[in-house]
Amino acid sequence: MTDRHDYHIDGTPPETPDNDAAAGAWPETSVVGTRQPKVDGYERVSGTAVYPHDVSLPGMLHGAILRCPHAHARVLKIDTSAAEAMPGVQVVITGSTPGADIPWYTRGGQSQSTLFDPHCRHEGEEVAAVAAETPYQAFDAIRAITVDYEELPFVIDDAEAMADGAPEVHQGGNVVGEPQIRERGDIEAGFAAADAVVERTFRTECQIHAPLEPHGSVARWDGNKLTVWDSTQGVFSVQQAMAGAFQLPTSNVRVIGHYMGGGFGAKLETGKYTVMAALMARMTARPVKIFLPREDCFTSTGNRPGNTMKIKIGAAADGTLTAIEYESLGSTGAYRYNAGTATLPTYLYRCDNVRTVDTTVYTNAGKARPMRAPGVPQADWALEQAMDELAAALDLDPMAFRLQNIPTELQNEARPPFTSTGLAACLTRGAEAFGWTPDAERRSSEGHLRRGVGFAAGMWFYPGGPPSTVIVKLFADGSANVNMGASDIGTGTKTWAAMIVAEELGVPLDRIQVEHADTGTTQFATPSGGSKTVPSDSPAVLAAARSVKNQLLGFAADQLETSVDDLELDDLQIVSESDPEQRLALAEVQMLRRRGLLLGTGYRDPNPEETVTFPFCAQFCEVEVDTLTGEIRILRFLGAHDSGRVLNRLTFDNQVFGGIAMGIGLGVTEERVLDRQTGKMVNANFHDYKVPTMLDVAAEHECLPIEHPDHEFNTTGAKGLGEPATIPTAAAVGNAVANALGVRVTDAPLTPRTILRFLSEQGKEA
């Protein structure tokens, strides 16, 4: 089955929206899909929103963590006596403190470390912690702790970590597990059938999440009940981890994360700082707050691994891809994580012969964590630039080349169809909106300021699904509460939840309050990540609102002695269609008055089984490169995104612009720099680590939703957006720069130094 729900290859919509037939299809909307500012926008900009960083409790102590200054060392001896005697210091903890021997980095029952591991495998490993009356006292006290370290040989380079005799981060060699191999078809036959083959090695550097709010928590005990305020993407997963660390029933732990200042994947894991705060709170019988200094967020709270990606692709003269061979090497840092990138090359295009190998190595650096589309923007950097090269080698238009290889089913053995595939539409309609044309005219090669345009395609691999439970309450005065466990990680979760309730019940947005991200008072949700909050939780919100509506109409039907089918909910009045004189205001519904409120519970139903649902995207950009200085100016950007239904057009746009900014970071400005002499990060601050500013992103940017509600997938028809928004960005810049220079710069970030190096190596300096 092909093209079943797809836009045509030229981007025109399907004639029959199959959606109407799908069960639970959502009809015309009047609130959903409009541009709505965040329901908590005032709180956020006025400073009245209480982020975990703002939490201040009576009697609260402030914690600080002493970290290993070496890339690789063993703690021989710790002397905390001077710190303990300092003013304001209430407690000092180390690995030998009773209760501190907590296993860490555990998988499959095996732990790689402990809360305070005397074997420090990277700069920034936790050695001791202090709680004092003020933050300054705490930071002074950790400096008074004396530690004898035995410094060990270290390795910080991915390739060097693989070499014989490299220092071992863990016993047994630095390769993590076995290299992961995926294979289909016959790769040799595929290359034999190719009329052109391109082989290149691409490199991306390690990127740091750099959320504006640092990582941190406040912990307070009431008897054996623990309450934690945490800057997290998922309160229920922190609850689980804390219950495990302190051997408590899950119900004894309450985790609250009403606001949080960004995570991008770095706040999916429970932090050691959370456990340390709780431990010191229990020892002192006072609340303890630990928020990390910015430097610690750079060294010790995760990153997107740097990757070296060797790609070889071949195609026939007519543009049919015949073979893709792909090898990726990435570093997880000091503890186990998958630094693989091969998913995208395996699945983005239809191709019968594919072989990919993912190798992950340990190095003496901070552990990698999931970061906005883990592995995918790196692979896109390699694959989509190689696709442009191959199109050029075959003298094909790079757009037509891609359109010829669009998949409408997952490229694995079973070939399950996608419920919707907007990839072709993202490319063609994006090109039209951006004004992209295949001719060389677009490139101006006069003087030292060279302009170029480029684009790249992408897809994302995580659809979302159950579990999710949501409660909606409707009061007799026509106001409503939404109660859901999901964290709003800055994306506007609360706002679309309110919009869905407004849509279904007719309650104005300013009369809806959203309670969320509190394990003590809200419903179960999985962490917000994987671009799955909308597709996982929006159907549960809709189901809860529908439950309220059904109850309301049922009670009204009884009262009016008519049938439910005869009733409509219109402007918070229940109206009889057969006899418009028959109407009830909410406050006149007796059962509502008797109960005080109507409460509806909604659950997320499972996804369909025989199909697969993914979001798709394509981004376009125009750049100007100065061949004298190597500087890049990003002039224009357009993101075309098939994420199914758009719930809130304003936050949809914002998500796309934010993703593009982050992708410009990966492609142009950001890179963790480790010193080869010491293994230490030399740019662990916002001055030297260059997150893009307003001057680095495009002055003109546009978001083009390819809106195609996917009701075969779920009842709201929405797919994810957060990660797709950053997937093709860097590759689009790479292609634009190659278009401008006529030189392929394979190494990200495209700093002036790198641009000039490639220009001089390829003899094209101005």
**Site residues for ligand MOS per CB under 6 A:** 233, 263-265, 268, 370-372, 374, 529-530, 723
Cβ-based nearer residue to ligand MOS, 325 or 358: 358
- CA-CA distance, 137 to 156, in Å (whole number)? 34
Task: Measure CA of the first residue to CA of the last residue in the chain; give whole Å.
Answer: 52
Cβ-based nearer residue to ligand MOS, 33 or 492: 492
- CA-CA distance, 588 to 251, in Å (whole number)? 39
Nearest-5° Cα angle at 277, 272 to 283: 125
- CA-CA distance, 86 to 309, in Å (whole number)? 52
CA distances from 682 to 123, 295, 308, 369 (A): 11, 10, 22, 20
Nearest-5° Cα angle at 384, 383 to 387: 85
CB of 268 to ligand MOS, least distance (A): 6
Task: Enter the tokens of residue 297.
Answer: 């967020």
Cβ-based nearer residue to ligand MOS, 207 or 308: 207
Specify whether the CB–CB gap between 175 and 360 falls below 8 A.
yes
Cβ-based nearer residue to ligand MOS, 262 or 293: 262
- CA-CA distance, 34 to 50, in Å (whole number)? 28
CB of 369 to ligand MOS, least distance (A): 8
- Closest by CA to 242, choosing from 257, 258, 225, is 225
- CA-CA distance, 337 to 315, in Å (whole number)? 34
CB of 12 to ligand MOS, least distance (A): 32
Cβ-based nearer residue to ligand MOS, 336 or 711: 336
Cβ-based nearer residue to ligand MOS, 229 or 461: 461
Residue linked to tokens 């309301």: 552
Task: Enter the tokens of residue 106.
Answer: 């555990």
Specify whether the CB–CB gap between 105 and 300 falls below 8 A.
no
Residue linked to tokens 């995580």: 462
φ/ψ region of 498 (left if φ > 0, alpha if ψ in -120 to 50, else beta) reads: alpha
Cβ-based nearer residue to ligand MOS, 528 or 754: 528
Q: What DSSP state is assigned to residue 438?
A: S
Cβ-based nearer residue to ligand MOS, 19 or 303: 303
CB of 765 to ligand MOS, least distance (A): 39
CB of 373 to ligand MOS, least distance (A): 7
CB of 410 to ligand MOS, least distance (A): 20
CB of 483 to ligand MOS, least distance (A): 23
CB of 232 to ligand MOS, least distance (A): 11
- CA-CA distance, 498 to 173, in Å (whole number)? 52
Cβ-based nearer residue to ligand MOS, 370 or 539: 370
Cβ-based nearer residue to ligand MOS, 346 or 531: 531
Specify whether the CB–CB gap between 292 and 273 falls below 8 A.
yes
- CA-CA distance, 55 to 51, in Å (whole number)? 7
CB of 432 to ligand MOS, least distance (A): 31
Cβ-based nearer residue to ligand MOS, 163 or 212: 212
CB of 323 to ligand MOS, least distance (A): 31
φ/ψ region of 109 (left if φ > 0, alpha if ψ in -120 to 50, else beta) reads: left
CB of 468 to ligand MOS, least distance (A): 16
- 729-741 and 649-664 are packed helices; what angle lies between their axes, rounded to 10 degrees? 60
- CA-CA distance, 263 to 280, in Å (whole number)? 25
CB of 249 to ligand MOS, least distance (A): 28
Cβ-based nearer residue to ligand MOS, 264 or 616: 264
Amino acid, single-letter form, for residue 146: T
Specify whether the CB–CB gap between 497 and 536 falls below 8 A.
no
The residue whose Cβ lies closest to ligand MOS is 265
Cβ-based nearer residue to ligand MOS, 268 or 279: 268
Task: Enter the tokens of residue 570.
Answer: 């219109």
Cβ-based nearer residue to ligand MOS, 265 or 398: 265
- CA-CA distance, 415 to 407, in Å (whole number)? 10
Cβ-based nearer residue to ligand MOS, 90 or 232: 232
CA distances from 144 to 114, 119, 147, 280 (A): 23, 21, 10, 18
CA 665 from chain centre, in angstroms, equals: 15
CB of 269 to ligand MOS, least distance (A): 10
Amino acid, single-letter form, for residue 501: V
- CA-CA distance, 296 to 395, in Å (whole number)? 50
CB of 375 to ligand MOS, least distance (A): 10
Cβ-based nearer residue to ligand MOS, 298 or 401: 298
CB atoms within 10 A of CB 392: 16
The runs of H, that is alpha helices, within 215-371 are 235-245, 272-284, 294-300, 343-347
Residues whose CB falls within 8 Å of the CB of residue 376, separated by 6 or more in sequence, listed in order: 341, 343, 344, 458, 460, 461, 723, 727
Q: Would you call 337 exposed, middle or buried from its count of C-beta atoms within 10 A (0-12, 13-18, 19+)?
A: buried
CB of 722 to ligand MOS, least distance (A): 7
CB of 532 to ligand MOS, least distance (A): 8
Q: What DSSP state is assigned to residue 665?
A: I
